[in-house]
Amino acid sequence: MVKIGDIELGSFPLLLAPMEDVSDPPFRALCKENGADVVYTEFISSEGLIRDAVKSVMKLDIYEKERPVGIQIFGSNLDSMLKAIDIVEKTNPDIIDINFGCPVKKVVCKGAGAGILKDINKMEMLTREMAKRTRLPVTVKTRLGWDESSIKIVEVAERIQDAGAKAIAIHGRTRAQMYKGNANWKLISEVKNNQRMKIPVFGNGDVNSPERALEMRDKYGLDGAMIGRASIGNPWFFNHVKHYFKTGTHMQPPTISERIRMAEKHLLMSIDWKGEKLGVLETRRHYSNYFRGIPDFKKYRNIMVTTDCSDELLLLFSDLKKQFNSEPVLN
């Protein structure tokens, strides 16, 4: 049984990774409905929270049906991070996660996200002080290191654990790699195989098929998988992995009609949560995967990624449902 603090997650839980402009409440809820064991919010700036920035505060919204849900924050200033903890705690999440892994330049140049990998002492100090500040379990998401020559992830994980973190998720790339090349799960397994490690060690990066998730579990011995890009426009992914674990066979892929219905549900939930403009805009990135298998998709996609009108999208979805009613997807 894998646990984060007192939260029981079963054996080899599947976690939805925090992804900017992706892991919002509607998408998290859809992933939860389709097998995700834990979902994390988009990362939230501690500086934005303490200054009451609208975008940062909006990211604190959670649905009850998402639980257990973790709110992820990033920053490099201790005072700001502690004040952010106080704000986050009032929204009553189940977990608070610290982002020590975001590779984006505008985050890194402020010494936050993966930028803090250059200062392991500060990384440990922030974790310790934040864990002391809250009654909630604190987890950490990070990368292997800043670059290949500075990988100290076994030491880092030990120190994070000793500072009070209740779990660690490790993306199997360095900051220098960004998202290029292959994730190195062997180095993550070295963290797990360290006899001093007692907290769960979750792997992240390149879990893009049920077979890969099984490999992470059985070959590398990790405690769970954090799923990112494979879930975009594909909230079914979590259930597909679980089905494969249980049966050794693949679930039947969703029909085109089921894909259309999910895209429509996602759009309506997004509009309900963030309004017409953002609801339409921020679901666009999901459509290529939602509509995989539709013949001549390009002509439909051009409309989906250019229109600002939900009525136009809903009409298009309706026409597609009539055209492809119950027709299977051939993967």
Residues with active-site annotation = 102
* Contact partners, residue 131, CB within 8 Å, separation at least 6: 138, 163, 164, 165
What the block records as the tokens of 223 is 């405690």
Rounded to an integer, what distance in angstroms lies between the CA atom of residue 259 and that of residue 317?
Answer: 10
Rounded to an integer, what distance in angstroms lies between the CA atom of residue 314 and that of residue 322?
Answer: 13
For 76-95, letters b (16+ CB in 10 Å) and e give bbeebbbbbbebbeeeebbb
* Contact partners, residue 45, CB within 8 Å, separation at least 6: 53, 56, 73, 74, 75
Strand, helix or coil for residue 39: strand
DSSP state of 116: G
Question: What count of other Cβ atoms lies within 10 Å of the Cβ of residue 311?
Answer: 9
Strand, helix or coil for residue 315: helix
Rounded to an integer, what distance in angstroms lies between the CA atom of residue 145 and that of residue 215?
Answer: 23
> Residue 40 — left, alpha, or beta (φ > 0 → left; ψ -120 to 50 → alpha)?
beta
For residue 94, give the nearest of 199, 174, 4, 167 by alpha carbon. 4
For residue 71, give the nearest of 103, 38, 104, 120 by alpha carbon. 38
Counting every residue, how long is the chain? Answer: 331
φ, ψ dihedrals at 178, nearest 5°: 55, -115
